[in-house]
Amino acid sequence: MLFSLALLVLLVAACQGPPPTQIILVVTATPDGEVAAVQTDATAEVSPTDEPTEEVQATSTPEATPTVDPFPTPTITQIQVAEQVFENGRMFWLQPTNQVWVMIVTEEGEGDWQIYEDTFAEGDIEFDPDLTPPDGFEQPERGFGKLWRENPEIREALGWAVTPEFGFVTRYEYHPGKTEDEPGYHVVLSLYEEAFRFNEADQTWRLN
């Protein structure tokens, strides 16, 4: 009889599903003698620990893009030149370009500027013995002399030389225009450090 009753209780319990949530009372002493009950859910699930927050990487500051200088840079250097003064102007020979620059005076401290290639070669006639300059003047020789003798308009415009030809190293400057298409100007110092400016825009020169 007792065995049958126990079996019946087990069958009834099995049909009732999962056991109800258990309530556990924890009794603790309080200063005023009251009893405090703490309800604990024995079946409460523990929340999984949150995943660690992904570390945010600081964005590196991009390097500044280099900008092109809007204004071309002047050229300033030392060059080898030759110089000779004439009655109405002077000549410069520039070693870097192998050119002869002819300066014809039109007004005080300014005039026309003409450029010629130096075609003189070693072995060429350096001067014309049939040309006799007036007293106190000289016939230009070598590269200056060849250009002067072979171009009557230059000889007429410049006249005779009044000094020998001098070779020396001097200061040279080139100042480009504000744009690639805008002409610039040159500055050359003479033997006595006179600064002559040569303007590409109108092929003139003036004392700086």
pLDDT in tens, 115-150: 999 999 999 999 999 999 999 999 999 999 999 999
- Average pLDDT over every residue of 106-110: 97
Of 175, 174, 205, the C-alpha closest to 91 is: 205
Of 160, 92, 82, the C-alpha closest to 128 is: 160
What contacts 96, CB < 8 A, 6 or more positions away?
Answer: 79, 80
CB neighbourhood size of 198 (10 A):
20
DSSP track, 139-185: ---HHHHHHHHH-HHHHHHH-SBSS--EEEEEEEEEE--SSTTS--E
- Write down the pLDDT at residue 51: 53
Residue with tokens 């450029």: 115
Looking at the whole model, is its pTM more than 0.85?
A: no
Residue with tokens 């300033």: 76
